[in-house]
């Protein structure tokens, strides 16, 4: 089942179950996807966004909530931090399993080999390969420095 369909099915189920918190998070996901669809139509893509783009949207939503939860915790607003963490749980249901550190290292090595990268100038090719294969499965903010180390070493 396509990611967008899974979100819609979960939204309908949350309505039936009267799960208010879950429903509001699912509506936020749907709204973010629709916003991106509208932007894509403006760029000439009438079909809207595919699963890869939806995964990127979800990943961004998780990252935003993690930052908000951290800020709320530092500010002593544990109730708001808990709400953000609850939203993360709902969003992560639609993301693929995160790769372990070992799996990330193997994926980086494979991408470097596949692209025949030899210097830091090839970092863009390596990152592009990783993003096309592992969107939503790894944090590219931590992968970037790892690729940089491997290529400059």
- Go through the domains of the chain in sequence order and give each one's CATH number: 3-92 (1.10.1510.10), 101-152 (1.10.10.410)
Q: What is the pLDDT of residues 51-66, one digit of tens each?
A: 878 888 888 898 899 9
At residue 73 the predicted structure's pLDDT band, cuts being 50, 70 and 90, is: very high
Counting residues of the chain whose pLDDT is more than 90, the rounded percentage is 37
**CA gap 46, 76 in Å, rounded:** 45
Residue 65 · residue 84 · CB < 8 Å:
yes
pLDDT reported for residue 80: 95
Give tens-digit pLDDT for 9-26: 999 999 999 999 999 999
Q: From the CB of residue 11, how many other CB atoms can be counted at a distance below 10 Å?
A: 16
**Range 54-81 average pLDDT:** 92
**In the block, which residue shows the tokens 């990252």?**
63
What proportion of the chain, given as a percentage, has pLDDT over 70? 99
What token pair was written down for 14?
């949350």
Q: How far is CA 100 from the centre of its chain?
A: 16
For 65-76, what is the mean pLDDT?
A: 94
80-84, 139-143, 145-149: least confidently modelled range: 139-143
Name the DSSP letter for residue 153.
Answer: -
- pLDDT confidence of residue 49: 78
The confidence score (pLDDT) of residue 153 equals 66
Confidence of residue 138 (pLDDT cuts 50, 70, 90): confident
pLDDT over 60 (residue 1): no
Q: How many CA atoms lie within 13 A of 103 on its CB side?
A: 9
- Other CB atoms within 10 A of residue 127 CB: 19
Cα(44)–Cα(39) distance, integer angstroms: 9
């Amino acid at each position: 089942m396509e990611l967008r369909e899974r979100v819609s099915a979960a939204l309908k189920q949350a309505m039936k179950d009267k799960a208010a918190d879950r429903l509001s998070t699912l509506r936020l996901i749907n709204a973010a996807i629709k916003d991106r669809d509208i932007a894509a139509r403006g760029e000439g893509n009438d079909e809207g966004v595919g699963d890869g783009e939806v995964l990127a949207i979800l990943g961004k939503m998780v990252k935003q909530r993690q930052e908000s939860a951290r800020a709320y915790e530092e500010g002593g607003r544990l109730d708001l931090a808990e709400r953000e963490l609850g939203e993360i749980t709902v969003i992560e249901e639609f993301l693929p399993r995160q790769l372990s550190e070992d799996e990330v290292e193997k994926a980086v090595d494979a991408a470097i080999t596949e692209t025949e990268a030899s210097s830091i100038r090839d970092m863009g090719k390596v990152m592009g390969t990783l993003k096309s294969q592992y969107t939503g499965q790894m944090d590219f903010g931590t992968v970037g420095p790892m690729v940089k180390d491997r290529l400059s070493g």
